[in-house]
Amino acid sequence: MKTLLLITLLLSEVLLAEVYTKADRVKDMQEMARAMSYIETGFFYNNIDLVQDGAFSLSDAIRRVQPPLTELQEKDPMTRYMNERVKFTNKISKKIDNKAKLIIERFREGDTSQAVQAYTKIMKQCMECHVQVRNW
Ligand code: HEC
């Protein structure tokens, strides 16, 4: 009986953990906005710790971001093809994640101009997604 209860508990936790809500997304977005400003402040104060903290927290958050569940559950391949949000999100997330790593590397090497360029490219990705899918 106890085992059954435990299994049920574990199972419901797993299921719950998989649901990524709009509120979760808003929270991650806010974290990313904060992370971006950390990175920027790190640039201005020439502070690698701030840059790194910002970049790590940006990567953490972008890896969590998902389109709405309805999209993931869409069975009709044509509809999926038409909105393509899953693919689109994964592509952008990967780019942001890679550029976040690049920021740390370049800044550490003292190549601030490349670090700033990577930052600008991240900003462009944020905006690109917002232009296309802001109102999911
Ligand atoms: C894959 C798409 C996507 C990407 C990439 C993306 N966003 Fe968003 N963002 C959204 C959506 C969608 C919303 C609106 C909230 C919702 O409907 O879930 C939003 C909302 C926001 C908000 C407002 C949150 C609030 O309090 O209402 C901020 C701030 C934000 N994004 C920052 C960022 C930053 C910074 C980046 C880049 C590092 C970024 N976003 C990248 C899709 C994206």
First to last CA, the chain: 43
| Cα of 72 from ligand 1 centre, angstroms | 18
Which residue minimizes the CA distance to atom 13 of ligand 1?
134
The pLDDT score that the predictor gives to residue 4 is 65
Which residue minimizes the CA distance to atom 36 of ligand 1?
126
Report d(CA 85, CA 129) in Å as an integer.
Answer: 10
The pLDDT score that the predictor gives to residue 19 is 84
Instruction: Report whether 58 contacts 36 (CB < 8 A).
Output: yes
Report d(CA 92, CA 82) in Å as an integer.
Answer: 18
User: pLDDT digits over 20-46, tens only?
Assistant: 888 999 999 999 999 999 999 999 999
The pLDDT score that the predictor gives to residue 30 is 98
| Cα of 54 from ligand 1 centre, angstroms | 16
pLDDT less than 50: residues of the chain: none
Q: Length of the chain in residues, anyone?
A: 136
Instruction: Report whether 130 contacts 29 (CB < 8 A).
Output: no
123 lines ligand 1 (CB under 6 A): no
Q: For residue 61, which atom of ligand 1 is closest to its CA?
A: 38
